[in-house]
Amino acid sequence: MGKRVLVTGGAGFIGSHTVDELIAQGHEVRVYDNLNPQVHGEGAEKPDYLHPDAEFVKGDVRDRDHLYKSIKDIDLIIHDAAEVGVGQSMYSIDQYISTNVQGTGVLWDILVNEKHGVEKVLVASSMSLYGEGNYECVEHGKISPKPRPDDQLAQGQWEMLCPQCASPVDPVPTDEEKELDCTSVYAQSKKDQEVYSLMIGRAHNIPTVACRYFNCYGPRQSLNNPYTGAAAIFCSAIKNDTPPLIYEDGNQRRDFIHVKDLVRGKLLLLDRQEADYGIFNIGTGKPSSILELAETLIQLCGKSFRPDVIYKFRNGDIRDCYADISRIKKLGFQPQYSLKEGLRNLIDWSDGQEAVSKVKDAHQQLVDKGLVLESQPVSSK
């Protein structure tokens, strides 16, 4: 029997795909979204791609009375609403903390102090709160190092070094037990969301699950928002015949997961009681470099230029982090999309979309705020 599900941020990229799958599974869905102009455009109305069977409520998660009206008759909540983006968070500080932390606080204040029928909450967390991922040193074994020092980056020495012997180390999968080490306001705000949600949920016997999303991409990711994921940013640049801008040397590694795989993972956690009060990575478990991502997109788009690798460091960035997904795999999760297949799906969708590349403006904002570090490209020789 279907449930009544509220999806905050449900008109966004990941949220809207979540809505589609919930409705396909027989649930009734209410979307609560403020239609952020940076994502949806100025004066935006409900997006055309939003499932016609979903009820849409335009509202801000910080508006307590309005949010409560949307919660009163709900069985399950998926809390996806958030400001996203590492770079922007380092200067739009109040915007990120207010939306991500205060908004989550308002949600939980309602759940603790008002009458409702909510049975479970799924909160969107992020791989960004790990900081650097796990690594392996030949001499010292598995390590979880702190961010690379500025003097190392200023010399163009991009790869992570063992903090004990200064030898190069290799990235290994990052599991949920790794100590958290936030390197941006965005990451800290997602950590706060996760910690408060699990703490309060457990204290008040409201089953809660934290989903640590890795680098999600796919159709409906804004092609006009320079602070969204790398795949959409690069796709927008390429569609405008502009080489994608890449920080460092491009060999930093991430875990890119197609949105349909991510949604299957999160809804598996929503269904499974054994996931209650747990923390789960949702990724592919396979690392890919930023350069590989850009080059694959360029190839699939039939372009001949090369990425613009600028050998500069963006404050708050990390070198390597990809998911250990053994915990969620034990519940039956298995990603289906290869990177190339998923990127082809993104490009096929983007062919019918307008794309305004604003990445140069975003980069200049970071430079103006002193958040981009110059370096000598030693590693490029």
CATH of the domain at 339: 3.40.50.720
Q: How confident is the model at residue 53 (pLDDT cuts 50, 70, 90)?
A: very high
pLDDT at 264: 98
Dihedral sign computed on CA atoms, order 100, 120, 28, 271: positive
**pLDDT of 367 higher than 90:** no
pLDDT at 380: 41
Q: How confident is the model at residue 221 (pLDDT cuts 50, 70, 90)?
A: very high
Summarize the confidence of residues 344-367 as an average pLDDT: 79
Beta strands in 69-205 (DSSP E): 76-79, 120-126, 134-137, 141-143, 170-172
Q: Residue 113 in 3-state DSSP?
A: helix
Q: Which element (helix H / strand E) includes 4?
A: strand 4-8
pLDDT at 379: 42
- The CA-CA-CA angle for residues 318, 324, 330, to 5°, reads 155
Q: Which of 68, 186, 213, 217 is catalytic?
A: 186
**What is the total count of domains within the chain?**
1
**pLDDT of 356 higher than 70:** no
- Which residue range(s) make up the domain with 136? 4-380
Per-residue pLDDT tens digits for 171-214: 999 999 999 999 999 999 999 999 999 999 999 999 999 999 99
Summarize the confidence of residues 69-75 as an average pLDDT: 97
Query: How is residue 149 annotated by DSSP?
Result: P
- Which pair of structure tokens corresponds to residue 183? 């390197």
**Active-site residue flag, 135:** no
Dihedral sign computed on CA atoms, order 31, 66, 79, 33: positive
pTM of the model: 0.94
Closest to 71 in 3D by CA, of 1, 123, 124, 119: 119
Q: How does strand 256-258 pair with strand 308-309?
A: unpaired
Query: For residue 303, which phi and psi values (nearest 5 degrees)?
Result: -95, 165
> When comparing pLDDT for 84 and 57, which is higher?
57
pLDDT at 85: 85
Q: How confident is the model at residue 297 (pLDDT cuts 50, 70, 90)?
A: very high
Q: Which residues have C-beta within 8 Å of that of residue 219, sequence separation ≥ 6?
A: 259, 345, 346, 349, 350
